Structure 1
Amino acid sequence: MLPTPDLSHLTQKDYEHVYEPAEDTFILLDALEKDAGVLQELKPRLCLEVGSGSGCVSAFLGKILGKADALYLCTDINLHATQSTLKTGEQNDVPLNPVLASLTRPLTARLHHAVDILIFNPPYVPTTTIEAVGAQAGRDIQGSWAGGNDGMQVTNELLESVESLLSPQGLFYLVAVKQNNIPKISHHMLERYGLISEVVLQRRAGREHLHILKFMHLWHDSHLLRVV
């Protein structure tokens, strides 16, 4: 079992502006570790985490992949988060490259079908649309949890770009909760973009029923999916 990345360089003051790793983070780490063999076999050249926050998840991915010759890109709308991500990479000897950006907007065209591992732990808490828009505009910690209608407002925007970002062998890992309507997400991605999916892990954490979904192209090797 791989240890959680060292975040001792981050202080409580940092966590006033940056999402502190919690149960949704840890189930994502567990899902990536569960898929470690698949990820290593993939031999990724480009990994992209959207909304990297503290940088914990990308640092963990770097430990799974070891000395793999991969580029680790990490976007976040929050300047404090990009700074924390950079420090976390340095603390854990993983070369993370944070980019201050909303989702993948400045990168989407240049990364066309180039991303081998795409990760997103989105703001998934259902809120009003106004609250979600305000949270994204504020570019601070509220943007890490306020998800708008059904908690899908920000996620839906990224889902439009996933197929164009993924390489032919690419994998996309998404954190979702039951209220996000997981069957609807899976059906939408298959019908509109030809991406098949499975639930890698699911776990209850208080009132939340967390799921980690994995998506890939329809023509992908079938042995990488356990349940479609």
Structure 2
Amino acid sequence: MIPTPCHRHVGPEGPFREVYEPAEDTFLLLDALEADAEELRRGRCTDINPLAGLCTVETAIRNNVDIQPIITDLITGLLPRLHGKVDLLLFNPPYVVTPSAEIQSHGIAAAWAGGKNGREVMDRFIPLVPDLLSAKGLFYIVTIQENNPAFSFIEHYYNLSFLTADEIIQILQKCGLKGTKVLYRQAGRENLSILKFCKS
């Protein structure tokens, strides 16, 4: 069993109060990664919130891990050089239903503001995944049933209004990705799932 990373420095008090505190979705994603620990390697992570990048460095230092956060909107600052080169891609997207204007934040609201149906950020990112992953790349995403975890590009293309996690997996197979639901957990009102994809 891998211990939960030290994260006491994140929260409502102190220098990282503008960074989203780890919650049930974070710990569910950690559980999925722990199950696949032998397959995974250390790497870089991106965030739109500069303070979250500093917090990531502090968390890494406190847990004796070397990590290099990059401040960018999703992967904008890393294209096109990442095409076909990503071995591990983790996405815990903002999924709270908010006005679309809130997704423009670079502060703590960026951690939860998902825009219309809580999916605007996911909808921008998902189409990029097949081109980003290397031949052996893995992609993990947190989805939440309450926000109808379907993606509007899929809805538009296939004329669907709601997809379950299993249907998301089936549709993304048509994009060349093989997927499974690796974990599911109810956390309060939220029904969270971790989906895992690789190239077929």
TM-score category of the 2 structures, normalised to the smaller one? 0.7 to 0.9
Partner of 1:214: 196
Paired letter, 1:80: L
Letter in 2 for 1:217: K
SS of residue matched to 1:89: helix
CA distance in 2, matches of 1:76, 1:93: 21
Question: TM-score normalised to the size of structure 1?
Answer: 0.75
1:189 is the counterpart of 2:172: yes
Question: Does residue 139 in structure 1 map to residue 106 in structure 2?
Answer: yes
Unaligned runs of at least 5 residues, structure 1: 45-61, 63-71, 219-228
Distance in 1 (CA, whole Å) between partners of 2:10 and 2:187 is 24
> Residue 152 of structure 2 corresponds to which residue in structure 1?
none
CA–CA distance in 2 between the matches of 1:5 and 1:14?
Answer: 18
What TM-score does the superposition give when structure 2 sets the normalisation length?
Answer: 0.85
Equivalent residue, structure 1, for 2:89: 118
Q: Is the 8 A contact 1:196 1:216 kept in 2?
A: yes
CA contact (8 A) 2:48 2:72 kept: yes
Amino acid at match of 2:26: T
4+ runs deviating over 6 angstroms = none
* 1:168 pairs with one of 132, 135, 140: 135
- Give, as a single letter, the amino acid of the residue that structure 2 aligns with 1:206: G
CA distance in structure 2 between the partners assigned to 1:186 and 1:124 by the alignment: 18
> What RMSD, in angstroms, separates the aligned Cα atoms of the two structures?
1.7
- The separation in 2 between residues aligned to 1:136 and 1:83, in whole angstroms, is 21
1:10/1:16 CA distance change after superposition, 3 Å: closer
How much does 1:184 deviate? 4.5
User: Counterparts of 1:38-49 in structure 2 under 5 Å?
Assistant: 39-40=39-40, 44=41
The 5 Å alignment of 1:1-228 reads: 1-10=1-10, 12-37=13-38, 39-40=39-40, 44=41, 62=42, 72-128=43-99, 130=100, 134-178=101-145, 179=147, 180=149, 181=163, 182-191=165-174, 193-218=175-200
**Identity of counterpart residues, as a percentage?**
43
